[in-house]
Amino acid sequence: ITDPEFKLPAAVFIIFNIYTLVEYLLCGLSLREWWNNQRMAKIVSSTAWLFGLLAVLLKVFGVSETVFELTRKDDLEGAPTEAGKFIFDSSAIYVPATTLLFVNLAALALGLAKVAMEMEASAN
């Protein structure tokens, strides 16, 4: 953290997040809405990069060709009680994020089990 190479990207990251938060608040949106947007941006960008990489690899190896596919758009005239709810349907955009979630949960469980076994062994 004391390296000078770390300070500039960290400062840009912090300033950008403060700026977007202030913009949300000035538009009358809440902190929770800003936070939800930050989370969704991470999910969408990681999924887009993964699917983009897979598409390029498949095209390079001649397995598939680029295809433009029209998708169904949902009616934005939904009931006010449904505001803020996500429509998942058959979207594959959440598959990589869900996979990462389960991998992280498994790693956390294994790490906690290892710590518990080490504590038990040191107590004996």
For residue 84, give the nearest of 20, 40, 25 by alpha carbon.
Answer: 40
With cut-offs at 50, 70 and 90, classify the pLDDT of residue 17.
very high
What confidence tens digit (pLDDT) does each residue in 69-111 have? 766 666 555 555 665 666 666 677 777 778 888 999 999 999 9
Where is average pLDDT lowest: 9-13, 44-48, 116-120?
44-48
Domain residue extents for the chain: 4-123
Q: What confidence score (pLDDT) does residue 75 get?
A: 58
Q: What confidence score (pLDDT) does residue 40 get?
A: 86
Q: What is the chain's Cα-based Rg?
A: 21
- Residues with Cβ within 8 Å of residue 93, at least 6 apart in sequence: 43, 44, 47
What confidence tens digit (pLDDT) does each residue in 28-66 have? 999 999 999 998 888 888 888 888 888 888 888 888 876
| Helices 4-26 and 31-60, axial angle in degrees (round to 10) | 120
Give the CA distances from residue 65 to residues 51, 52, 84, 92, 102, in Å, rounded to whole numbers and listed in that order.
14, 13, 36, 19, 31
The two three-digit tokens of residue 64, written as one number: 């598939």
Higher pLDDT, 85 or 120: 120
